[in-house]
Amino acid sequence: MGIYMKETLKAQYAELGISDAVLAFGNEILASLEDRFREIDETAEYNQLKVIHAMQECRVSEACLLGTTGYGYNDLGRDTLEKVYAGIFHAEDALVRPQITCGTHALALALMSNLRPGDELLSPVGKPYDTLEEVIGIRESKGSLKEYGISYRQVDLLPDGSFDYNAIRAAIRDRTRLVTIQRSKGYQTRPTLSVTQIGELIRFIKAIRPDVICMVDNCYGEFVETIEPGDVGADMTVGSLIKNPGGGLAPIGGYIAGKRECVENAAYRLTSPGLGKEVGASLGVTSSFYQGLFLAPTVTASALKGAVFAANLFERLGFPVVPNGTESRHDIIQAVTFGKPEGVIAFCQGIQSAASVDSFVTPQPWDMPGYDSEVIMAAGAFVSGSSIELSADGPIKPPFAVYFQGGLTWPHAKLGILKALQSLVTQGIVPDSLLKI
């Protein structure tokens, strides 16, 4: 970098409240990450080509970018987009709709439409994501699978994070109809599963019962690797469009990609028996779905770089981080443990102050429905609640960890992490002396 550019950049960071010491410390960490970033860029390059290839194969045309209203019969853009998703996720068919309101809804839909009373659902990877507890009926809830006579079993991962194959074999019974595998650790401490590991698990299950449906909760995992769960035998891959595959542009939506019969079941449940995929106007969102998907590989790469940068920076400062600085990545979430509430609060306030939207807001911990402690959230997003955008949150309880994710561009992710560090330094949680390199 030229001297002039370096000084100009430094001045610009100073305008945004980043001290020379914080910037220099961040840049020192970055200098060691060139190889990691090159790998991330290569994955993005591969996935960019994959997306373009799928769009070309499906003959995406200008007419596809228009929307429909009313019933939405013959919605060319919607039907073609579903073919594109099927191509990318190695599936026979897909359901990609703005009527799927979020990730939880997509997962609930996939489960409720493919399970029948008397069936059993199995999670061989431990407790699923919080919001699914009510879908399944682990926590009593109106309309849960449990209320419809669908039972649930769970096999936890072994202490080292590996699959408990013996217990899984024992848990597969005649009634077992569907196996749900969550790729991302979500807000737990277990490791995120790689697509290859998921493939091994699916092969093991199919060897025991080939007819069992294997579903993967792919939230936060899309485009992090060059393969997706459909490439290793998943019957259904499910996720949210306000995370990775929406590329920050999709304003709502979810997807289910998989076996034709599974997707058909989901479509009949989403709309109505007899109608299925034939209805569902796309209104004005189709072009955002296409363009967001087009951008998703590089947006995911930006978020990944942010996660790797944060891991290395906070690890160097002595805070426990999951994944650690050198581990390979299978989702975009980064956990940093501060050990005290002030650290979580300062971090989230720093992230918020880096936003383009609502940067002037100071987040505070509050009692959120569904959580057993106060939670603080930082989110200054163009799409409300979007977590592919720079965001962080942390429950105010031991071990006082924050979960950080997103960043539509790498420079924004970098700014967010520097602002978080600056906030910790300013509030005296990270002493200045630690920044000496």
Ligand X SMILES: *Cc1c(COP(=O)(O)O)cnc(C)c1O
Q: Which residues are at the interface with ligand X (CB under 6 A)? A: 102-104, 129, 131, 182, 184, 186, 217, 219-220, 240
Q: Which residues pair with 404 in a beta bridge?
A: 334, 392
Least Å distance, CB 387 to ligand X, is: 7
Q: Given the complex with ligand X, which of 43 and 182 has the nearer CB atom?
A: 182
Q: Which CA distances in Å does 378 have to 145, 238, 359? A: 33, 26, 10
Q: Which two tokens stand for residue 277?
A: 């995929």
Q: Which residue is nearest to ligand X (CB)?
A: 103
Least Å distance, CB 220 to ligand X, is: 5
Least Å distance, CB 218 to ligand X, is: 8
Q: Given the complex with ligand X, which of 184 and 194 has the nearer CB atom?
A: 184
Q: Is 70 helix (H, G, I), strand (E, B) or coil?
A: coil
In the block, residue with structure tokens 């790998």: 39
Least Å distance, CB 195 to ligand X, is: 14
Q: Given the complex with ligand X, which of 111 and 205 has the nearer CB atom?
A: 111
Dihedral, CA of residue 407, residue 409, residue 415 and residue 419, to nearest 10: -10
C-alpha atoms less than 13 angstroms from C-alpha of 244 in its C-beta half-sphere: 27
Least Å distance, CB 129 to ligand X, is: 4
Which of 382, 378, 384 minimizes the C-alpha distance to 336? 378
The Cα–Cα gap between 99 and 83 comes to 18
Torsion sign over Cα 159, 162, 167, 172: positive
Q: Which two tokens stand for residue 163?
A: 């699959």
Q: Please list, residue by residue across 163-193, b when 16 or more beta carbons sit within 10 angstroms of its beta carbon and e when fewer do.
A: bbeeebeebbeeebbbbbbbbbbbebebbbb
The Cα–Cα gap between 80 and 73 comes to 13
Q: Given the complex with ligand X, which of 349 and 387 has the nearer CB atom?
A: 387
Which of 278, 238, 279, 280 minimizes the C-alpha distance to 258? 238
Q: Given the complex with ligand X, which of 131 and 226 has the nearer CB atom?
A: 131
The Cα–Cα gap between 96 and 226 comes to 21
Q: Given the complex with ligand X, which of 288 and 312 has the nearer CB atom?
A: 288
Q: Given the complex with ligand X, which of 217 and 228 has the nearer CB atom?
A: 217
Least Å distance, CB 133 to ligand X, is: 11
Q: Given the complex with ligand X, which of 85 and 129 has the nearer CB atom?
A: 129
Least Å distance, CB 207 to ligand X, is: 26
Least Å distance, CB 1 to ligand X, is: 36
The Cα–Cα gap between 66 and 83 comes to 16
Q: Given the complex with ligand X, which of 22 and 348 has the nearer CB atom?
A: 348
Q: Which CA distances in Å does 312 have to 36, 132, 329, 408? A: 11, 32, 13, 20
The Cα–Cα gap between 327 and 132 comes to 28
Least Å distance, CB 228 to ligand X, is: 15
The Cα–Cα gap between 202 and 187 comes to 23
Q: Which two tokens stand for residue 367?
A: 């009692």
The Cα–Cα gap between 414 and 404 comes to 12
Q: Given the complex with ligand X, which of 13 and 129 has the nearer CB atom?
A: 129
Least Å distance, CB 104 to ligand X, is: 3
